[in-house]
């Protein structure tokens, strides 16, 4: 039997989505929505530094297989001129093109300290009459120098402390979900979820007094107090708040932590103020009568659209893991840069890469990922593989946005971060005796191989000068840099790095593989084989077909023998190896090394480690532990870009034994909806809704070996592709695909 509740919810998701497409004026009458300037959906909230910014929009049409054939953009120096149809700064005229992302402004350079307005209309293949979008305002400033105040337009411009090319964190008020009177003047509040922020007290005090406010991430075992000795770097703090006689409102000033507010830490914007992570609050020594309305949480986070993504399935554990992971991305964005949690508040490349992929899976938002990535290029950290992650981040930025600007700007830095200059004659690299000039090019003065973190999660890894994991990363960055070079028209570099990748891959398979055991060893001269030395070749496509079975078998034998960071690549590897059910069993596991364990131990934000026992000083607010927020949309439900900017999309669900599921995932061209239902060893039914101005290759699993596949009720010839049938070139709109045995 199908899971009726899941099927009903999936239907609701589809009806809501498709109903909007069918009835909303914007869609019916061909009005572009989702306008972005410099990848910002709300540029009026901040300032941009590019004098020739890029524009993007979502094409809308209820017509199936719809494609944009042309567009026209107007940019005006005033709202009145734009409304009158005058583009005094730029009128693109009708441009015959399907491009709807990364369209560069081509008027006179926008001047610093000015504002302008823009709008767009699209011409469609169906001939639906075009209508103009709503206008969007832009504030332009010159490139901000370190320590300089932002120069912004006067009067009704953006906030004077606007952050160039990104947003200030926003405040969100939340009421408690639980109130408990402990004693007179002493009460306990539970806000349901942890967040970074502070609290506001609203009390009517009969006398002036000093009220004690206790905030923390953990509660006591009885669930009726804030845990004042939580251990590790889980947070607790008490602040004294002087209150006056009579009715008053008091926002608690969070006392700063010395470690995460100095040195290399990212500072909170002055206008936002200091924050701390907490879920629970106790008020004591209060002369006023307290009730559930006495305290409000003021949560701080980067702008986040809670409705941009959703997922539900027939597995309630998986649903809970998704919700925690999705929320973690919102909650940990509090200071406007991806950081490693509250202990240090320092950006790290590997953390940021996982955060980036998860952010793409949960919101149509790209500026925070790009800013964090570009910050880390110039302010890198010490692990060898973290340098490689800068290349991975650059490629992900381009894949998901279709915008080449960032990778072009940092092209030489990214080239250096492949670490190709460390290669010996056979192409393999070592971090022994690194030349000074290499350090200068990668903007740091030390590198050390890390493999995994914390150290106890390395599966006994045997470190050697020629390290397998490091060289697999080197291989992958050569592959990706070759693609970037090709996209930028740098064909000589593309050919050179394609050659390097081929050489490195061949040497890894020749010198770092134990043919007798059929698995990869940890390094040159090592006899030890770890999970890490095998899952990364699998995740990065290095394992030849005749070795796949043995390597996959070994990877599965090690179970979750890695950290929450390593789990990103373990799950990537398993899904790419066709181990859907096993990958699912790791995501919905209730063992100690699982996402469920984070929930069981009491956190509502993903942890730095699998649980308190695995890392003594771990924190409870680490986005690199939110891996399912990207694995569920990218791998389990299978929505990924086939070309940068989602002009072509792949939808390849690898759902294992899940009976049903429904996903809404954002893309720069609009949301993609995917639902499925399946009977054990029976038919597989898939419904997709694809944004206009895109096409998709849609895959369905083969059940009986000779399956028939129908598209919108008509039989089609799906092309066999491993365990799947593939239907290419599926156009926009709602489509139903079903398989049945012949």
Q: What is the pLDDT of residues 72-108, one digit of tens each?
A: 999 999 999 999 999 999 999 999 999 999 999 999 9
Query: What pLDDT sits at residue 159?
Result: 72
Whether 541 shows a pLDDT value over 60: the answer reads yes
List, in order of start, the domains of the chain with CATH numbers: 4-9+647-741 (2.60.420.10), 170-301 (2.60.120.260), 318-379+588-636 (no CATH), 381-561+575-580 (1.50.10.10)
- Which two structure tokens, joined as six digits, stand for 686? 């898939």
pLDDT per residue as tens digits for the range 498-530: 999 999 999 999 999 999 999 999 999 999 999
Whether 156 shows a pLDDT value over 80: the answer reads no
Question: Cα separation of 322 and 309, whole Å?
Answer: 11
Cis peptide before 74 (omega within 30 of 0): no
Burial profile 186-195: b = 16 or more Cβ within 10 angstroms, e = fewer: bbbbbbebbb
**Rounded average pLDDT over 165-192:** 97
693: left (phi over 0), alpha (psi -120 to 50) or beta: left
Question: Cα separation of 587 and 597, whole Å?
Answer: 11
Q: Where residue 143 falls among pLDDT bands split at 50, 70, 90?
A: low
Query: What pLDDT sits at residue 708?
Result: 86
Average pLDDT, the chain: 93
| DSSP, res 43 | G
Percentage of the chain beyond pLDDT 90 is 89
**Rounded average pLDDT over 345-351:** 98
Q: Which residue is listed with tokens 């004294």?
A: 240
Query: Are residues 77 and 89 in contact, defined by beta-carbon separation less than 8 angstroms?
Result: yes
Query: What pLDDT sits at residue 679?
Result: 83
Query: What pLDDT sits at residue 142?
Result: 73
**Rounded average pLDDT over 34-53:** 96
Whether 148 shows a pLDDT value over 70: the answer reads no
Is pLDDT larger for residue 717 or for residue 459? 459
Q: Where residue 705 falls among pLDDT bands split at 50, 70, 90?
A: low
H/E stretch holding 479 reads: helix 468-487
Whether 497 shows a pLDDT value over 60: the answer reads yes
Q: Where residue 647 falls among pLDDT bands split at 50, 70, 90?
A: very high
**Rounded average pLDDT over 633-656:** 98
Query: What pLDDT sits at residue 135?
Result: 98
Whether 34 shows a pLDDT value over 70: the answer reads yes
Query: What pLDDT sits at residue 740?
Result: 79
Whether 9 shows a pLDDT value over 50: the answer reads no
Whether 26 shows a pLDDT value over 60: the answer reads no
Query: What pLDDT sits at residue 406?
Result: 97
H/E stretch holding 737 reads: strand 733-741
Q: Where residue 3 falls among pLDDT bands split at 50, 70, 90?
A: very low
Query: What pLDDT sits at residue 21?
Result: 33
**Rounded average pLDDT over 679-696:** 92
Query: What pLDDT sits at residue 28?
Result: 52
pLDDT per residue as tens digits for the range 275-317: 999 999 999 999 999 999 999 999 999 999 999 999 999 999 9
> What's the number of CA atoms in the CB half-sphere (13 Å) around residue 528?
12
Question: Cα separation of 617 and 612, whole Å?
Answer: 8
- Which two structure tokens, joined as six digits, stand for 128? 């639906």
Question: Cα separation of 594 and 129, whole Å?
Answer: 52
Percentage of the chain beyond pLDDT 70 is 93
**Rounded average pLDDT over 165-183:** 96
**Rounded average pLDDT over 144-155:** 44
Query: What pLDDT sits at residue 742?
Result: 61
Q: Are strands 695-701 and 648-651 parallel, antiparallel or unpaired?
A: parallel
């Amino acid at each position: 039997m199908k899971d009726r509740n899941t099927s009903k919810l999936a239907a609701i998701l589809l009806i809501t989505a498709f109903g909007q497409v069918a009835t909303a004026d914007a869609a019916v009458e061909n009005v572009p929505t989702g306008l972005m300037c410099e990848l910002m959906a709300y540029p009026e909230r901040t300032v941009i530094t590019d004098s020739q910014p890029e524009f993007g929009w979502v094409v809308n049409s209820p017509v199936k297989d719809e494609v944009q054939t042309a567009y026209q953009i107007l940019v005006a120096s005033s709202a009145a001129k734009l409304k009158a149809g005058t583009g005094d700064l730029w009128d693109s005229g009708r441009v015959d093109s399907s491009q709807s992302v990364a369209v560069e402004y081509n008027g006179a350079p926008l001047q610093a300290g000015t504002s302008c307005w823009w709008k767009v209309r699209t011409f469609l293949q169906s001939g639906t009459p075009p209508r103009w979008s709503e206008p969007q305002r832009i504030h332009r400033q010159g490139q901000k120098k370190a320590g300089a105040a932002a120069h912004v337009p006067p009067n009704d411009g953006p906030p004077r402390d606007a952050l160039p090319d990104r947003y200030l964190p926003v405040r969100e008020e939340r009421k408690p979900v639980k109130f408990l009177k402990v004693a007179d003047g002493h009460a306990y509040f539970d806000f349901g979820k942890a967040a970074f922020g502070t609290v506001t007290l609203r009390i009517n005090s009969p006398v002036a007094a000093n009220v004690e406010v206790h905030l923390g991430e953990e509660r006591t075992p009885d669930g009726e107090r804030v845990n004042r000795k939580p251990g590790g770097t889980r947070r607790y703090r008490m602040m004294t708040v002087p209150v006056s006689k009579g009715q008053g409102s008091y926002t608690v000033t969070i006392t700063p932590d010395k470690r995460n507010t100095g040195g290399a830490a990212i500072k909170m914007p002055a206008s936002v103020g200091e924050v701390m992570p907490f879920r629970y609050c106790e008020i004591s020594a209060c002369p006023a009568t307290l009730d559930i309305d006495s305290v409000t949480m003021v949560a701080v986070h980067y702008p986040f659209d809670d409705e941009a993504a959703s997922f539900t399935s027939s597995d309630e554990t998986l649903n809970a893991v998704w919700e925690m992971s999705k929320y973690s991305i919102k909650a940990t964005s509090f200071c406007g840069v991806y950081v490693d949690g509250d202990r240090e508040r320092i950006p790290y490349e590997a953390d940021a890469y996982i955060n980036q992929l998860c952010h793409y899976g949960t919101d149509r938002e790209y500026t925070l990922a790009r800013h964090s990535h570009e910050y880390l290029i110039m302010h890198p950290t010490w692990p060898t593989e973290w340098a490689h992650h800068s290349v991975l981040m650059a490629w992900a930025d381009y894949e998901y946005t279709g915008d080449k600007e960032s990778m072009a700007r940092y092209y030489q830095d990214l080239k250096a971060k492949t670490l190709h200059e460390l290669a010996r004659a056979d192409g393999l690299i070592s971090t022994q005796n690194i030349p000074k000039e290499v350090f200068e090019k990668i903007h740091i003065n030390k590198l050390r191989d890390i493999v995994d973190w914390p150290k106890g999660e390395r599966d006994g890894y045997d470190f050697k000068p020629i390290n397998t994991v490091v060289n697999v990363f080197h291989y992958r960055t050569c592959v990706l840099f070759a693609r970037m070079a090709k996209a930028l028209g740098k064909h000589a570099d593309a050919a050179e790095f394609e050659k390097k990748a081929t050489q490195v891959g061949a040497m890894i398979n020749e010198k770092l593989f134990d043919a007798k055991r059929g698995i990869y060893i940890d390094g040159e001269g090592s006899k030890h084989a770890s999970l890490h030395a095998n899952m990364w070749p699998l995740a990065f496509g290095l394992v030849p077909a005749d070795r796949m079975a043995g390597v996959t078998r070994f990877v599965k034998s090690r179970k979750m023998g890695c950290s929450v960071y390593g789990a990103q690549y373990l799950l990537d590897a398993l899904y790419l190896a066709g181990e859907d059910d096993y990958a699912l069993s790791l995501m919905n596991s209730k063992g100690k090394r699982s996402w469920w364990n984070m929930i069981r131990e009491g956190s509502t934000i993903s942890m730095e480690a699998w649980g308190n026992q695995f890392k003594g000083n771990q924190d409870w607010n680490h986005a690199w532990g939110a891996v399912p927020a990207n694995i569920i949309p990218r791998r389990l439900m299978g929505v990924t870009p086939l070309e940068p900017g989602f002009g072509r999309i792949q939808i390849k669900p690898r759902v294992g034994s899940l009976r049903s599921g429904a996903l809404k995932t954002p893309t720069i061209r609009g949301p993609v909806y995917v639902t499925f239902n399946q009977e054990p060893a029976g038919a597989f039914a898939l419904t997709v809704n694809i944004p206009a101005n895109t096409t998709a290759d849609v895959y369905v699993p083969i059940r009986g070996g000779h399956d028939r596949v129908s598209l919108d009720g008509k039989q089609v010839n799906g092309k066999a592709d491993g365990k799947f049938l593939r239907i290419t070139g599926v156009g926009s709109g709602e489509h139903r695909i079903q398989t049945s045995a012949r």
